[in-house]
Structure 1
Amino acid sequence: MTQAKEAPHNMPMLLAGARRWFDDALMASMRAAGEQPLSSAQGQVFALLDAEGTTVAELARRLGVTRQTAHQAVHGLLALGLLEQVADPSSARNRLIRITAEGMRVHRRAQATLTVVEDVLAERIGAAAATALRDALTLPRGEPPVVEAP
């Protein structure tokens, strides 16, 4: 009996797999360095915070998740001392989420780790392929299309 040929993965699955590879490398490397492991969502929060602080509602919008989900990610980071809440000078009702000094230290370490992981990827797939991949992912894609399946 012949084995069924596995269908090729679609682009979203390939991108998700690549993302998991980076996340796994980052988590394992940070854990090996003695850092508290963070979830992927918690890591994304750092990249989306403004220097002066960002509301949970705005973080939720940027993450593409509910306020409750964003609040859960932020709450864990607050408990670890990586983020802090401060009053929003433009609104008495809102609180801003900002990175603490310890959060900045961890974020810088994570960014430096990701640079090394990218270098490993370039060694494995070739520098030209890694550059082409980065270039392709930074091209403008425009608004997501609405299409009819054939």
Structure 2
Amino acid sequence: MTEAAQNLPLLLAGAKRWFDDALTASMRAAGEQPLSSAQGQVFAVLDPDGTTVSELARRLGVTRQTAHQAVHGLLALDLLEQIPDPASARSRLIRITPEGARVHRRAQATLTVIEEALADRIGTDAAAALRTALTLPRGEPPVVEAP
């Protein structure tokens, strides 16, 4: 029996999992507290002056509760802090702490090395083509009818 080819979303999810696993293992080996994938993604969408949890949720494409859980864990690790939002007395901004910035820089440097390891395995041309393909504009998601 022939196994059906995996669809692109499954392949992309598998590739992301490979990067997440490599980053987690590498950070743990370096003596850093491992973060969940969701916690790591928070750093990628934070504004330098701070971002509300609601805005983080929107940028991450998750519920406010999910974003709050990720942020709460990072607050407990002293990687993020809450400050009053000068634009709204009811809101608080989440921003990175100096320790969070240090960990984020280390994670970014580690990801660079992991990308180099991938390029060694699949070839530099394939890695460059993959990066190019994933950064091309895709436009709005299409609404299609199945045949």
**Equivalent of 2:59, from 58, 62, 75?**
62
Give the corresponding residue for 1:135: 132
Give the corresponding residue for 1:7: 4
Distance in 1 (alpha carbons) for counterparts of 2:71 and 2:16:
21
Matches within 5 A, 1:41-120: 41-120=38-117
User: Matched residue of 1:122: which SS?
Assistant: helix
Distance in 2 (alpha carbons) for counterparts of 1:135 and 1:69:
31
Which whole-Å deviations, capped at 9, do the CAs of 1:27-82 have from their partners, x for residues lacking one? 00000000001000000000000000000000000111111110000000000000
In structure 1, stretches of 5+ residues that fail to align are none
Give the corresponding residue for 1:30: 27
Give the corresponding residue for 2:123: 126
Q: CA RMSD in A?
A: 0.4
How far did 1:5 drift? 1.1
Normalised to the residue count of structure 2, the TM-score between the two structures is 0.99
Question: What is the one-letter code of the residue matched to 1:63?
Answer: L
- Residue correspondences, number: 147
Distance in 2 (alpha carbons) for counterparts of 1:11 and 1:120:
22
User: Matched residue of 2:32: which SS?
Assistant: coil
Give the corresponding residue for 2:145: 148
Normalised to the residue count of structure 1, the TM-score between the two structures is 0.97
Distance in 2 (alpha carbons) for counterparts of 1:66 and 1:121:
32
Distance in 2 (alpha carbons) for counterparts of 1:88 and 1:125:
46
Question: What is the one-letter code of the residue matched to 2:71?
Answer: V
Which whole-Å deviations, capped at 9, do the CAs of 1:129-149 have from their partners, x for residues lacking one? 000000000000000000000
Question: What is the one-letter code of the residue matched to 1:146?
Answer: V
